[in-house]
């Protein structure tokens, strides 16, 4: 079976997802902990209906831990949903996911009745990394670019759980401008489609308001500049992003800033907070 879901074929894709989901007992939805709502596709909620769901707030090593805690509380208000912060590259927390899965589908995991689980999410949230970590070996392709995964087999995790080796790929939703900027900032959208300066301005504006101290420390600033452009220029100056004549290269400065944000160099930062705390 081949599971590929892309925009442009959304109706067909939705039907395919709905069919596939029905053959699993638990859905493991991977979200980016820095933008748990913007990295979700709400269609999944409709398609999984009452299927139990574990929301993995992945890349939590990069996210603001307090904000992540608030997100966990927010998501767990929903019946049949459990949420947890995660760093997919680490094997130490794998037990948490399997324990949660078994709790969410208690009638399963008996001999002869394996619990079937499937990983699902938008590109680049870490689905392949999570599958590899759960499986304890390198199974799925990993990369910074959205990958197409074609084969689909069950991996026996040897603890009563069978995991699909193919992640369900959902399309990112970019209906609202801020959500699209958050996705772009996190690296979920192909870089060729990005206006780096625009994305950097959005990110800089948010960080100036929400994490000024981290910016002051990282870039050794005496104070936060007046505008996001001025901040990006300051960063460019410090990183030597200049054009001939000594002028600041705004595009390269924006790239440097986004790269440092994505790599967690500025600090642990979340780009959005759950509705009730904002
Ligand atoms: N910092 C961090 N990076 C991660 C984590 N999980 C995945 N990544 C990185 O995110 C990128 C995309 O991961 P991948 O598994 O290919 O995402 P997929 O497109 O959803 O399958 C890779 O560079 C991974 O190394 C995590 O928990 N923390
Ligand atoms: Mg992948």
Predicted pLDDT at 250: 97
Which one, of 72, 59, 61, 58, lies nearest residue 30 by Cα? Answer: 58
Q: What are the distances in angstroms from CA 90 to CA 42, 76, 134? A: 28, 23, 10
Q: Which residue has the tokens 């950097």?
A: 200
Instruction: Name the band, by pLDDT with cuts 50, 70 and 90, for residue 6.
Output: low
Q: Residue 130: nearest ligand to its CA?
A: 1
Q: What is the CA radius of gyration of the chain?
A: 20
What are the pLDDT digits (tens) for 206-239?
999 999 999 999 999 999 999 999 999 999 999 9
**Ligand 1 binding pocket, CB closer than 6 Å:** 58-59, 61-62, 87-89, 121, 123-129, 142-144, 146-147, 167
Residue 56 in this model has a pLDDT that exceeds 50: yes
CA distance 59 to 85: 8
Atom of ligand 1 lying closest to residue 87 CA: 27
Q: Report CA(233)–ligand 2 centroid distance (Å).
A: 35
Determine the distance separating the centroid of ligand 1 and the alpha carbon of 110, expressed in angstroms.
Answer: 32
| β-strand pairing of 154-156 with 161-164 | antiparallel
243 has pLDDT over 80: yes
Between the CA of 121 and the centroid of ligand 2 the distance, in Å, is: 10
Reported in sequence order, the residue ranges of 108-195 that DSSP labels E, i.e. its strands, are 115-121, 154-156, 161-164, 168-169
Cα 224 to middle of ligand 2, angstroms? 38
* Ligand 1 atom with minimal separation from the 131 CA: 15
CA 154 to chain centre: 24
Give, using CA atoms, the residue closest to atom 2 of ligand 1: 59
> What domains, with CATH codes, occur in the chain?
10-169 (3.40.50.300), 195-277 (1.10.1580.10)
Do the bridges between strand 53-58 and strand 81-85 make them parallel or antiparallel, or are there none, so unpaired? Answer: parallel
Helix (H) or strand (E) holding 30: strand 26-32
Contact assessment for residue 42 and residue 248, using Cβ atoms and an 8 Å cutoff: no
Q: According to the model, what pLDDT value does residue 58 have?
A: 98
Ramachandran assignment for 229, one of left (phi > 0), alpha (psi -120 to 50 degrees), beta (any other): alpha
Task: Looking at the CA of residue 143, tell me the nearest atom of ligand 1.
Answer: 16
Is the whole-model pTM more than 0.85? yes
Question: Tokens in use for 102?
Answer: 């078994």
Q: How far apart are CA 177 and CA 7, in angstroms?
A: 18
- 271, pLDDT greater than 50: yes
Digit-coded pLDDT (tens) for 116-143: 999 999 989 999 999 999 998 766 655 5
Tell me the ligand closest to 125's alpha carbon: 1
């Amino acid at each position: 079976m081949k599971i590929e879901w892309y925009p442009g074929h959304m109706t067909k894709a939705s039907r395919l997802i709905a069919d596939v989901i029905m053959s699993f007992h638990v859905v493991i939805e991977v979200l980016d902990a820095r933008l748990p709502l913007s990295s979700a596709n709400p269609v999944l909620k409709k398609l999984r209906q009452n299927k139990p769901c574990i929301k993995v707030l992945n890349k939590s090593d990069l996210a603001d831990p307090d904000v992540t805690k608030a997100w966990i509380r927010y998501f767990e208000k929903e019946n049949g949903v459990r949420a947890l912060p995660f760093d997919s590259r680490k094997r130490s927390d794998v037990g948490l996911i399997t324990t949660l899965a078994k709790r969410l589908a208690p009638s399963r995991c008996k001999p002869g009745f394996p619990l079937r689980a499937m990983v699902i999410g938008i590109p680049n949230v870490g689905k392949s990394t999570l599958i590899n970590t759960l499986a304890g070996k390198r199974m799925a392709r990993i990369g910074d670019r959205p990958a197409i995964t074609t084969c689909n087999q069950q991996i026996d995790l040897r603890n009563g759980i069978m995991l699909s080796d193919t992640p369900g790929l959902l399309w990112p939703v970019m209906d609202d401008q801020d959500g699209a900027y958050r996705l772009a900032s996190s690296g979920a959208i192909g870089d060729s489609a990005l206006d780096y300066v625009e994305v950097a301005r959005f990110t800089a504006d948010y960080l100036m308001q929400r994490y000024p101290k981290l910016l002051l420390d990282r870039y050794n600033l005496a104070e936060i500049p007046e505008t996001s452009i001025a901040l990006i220029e300051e960063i460019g100056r410090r990183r030597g992003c200049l054009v001939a004549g000594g002028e600041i290269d705004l595009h390269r400065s924006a790239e440097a800033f986004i790269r440092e944000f994505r790599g967690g160099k500025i600090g642990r930062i979340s780009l959005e907070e759950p509705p009730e705390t904002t």
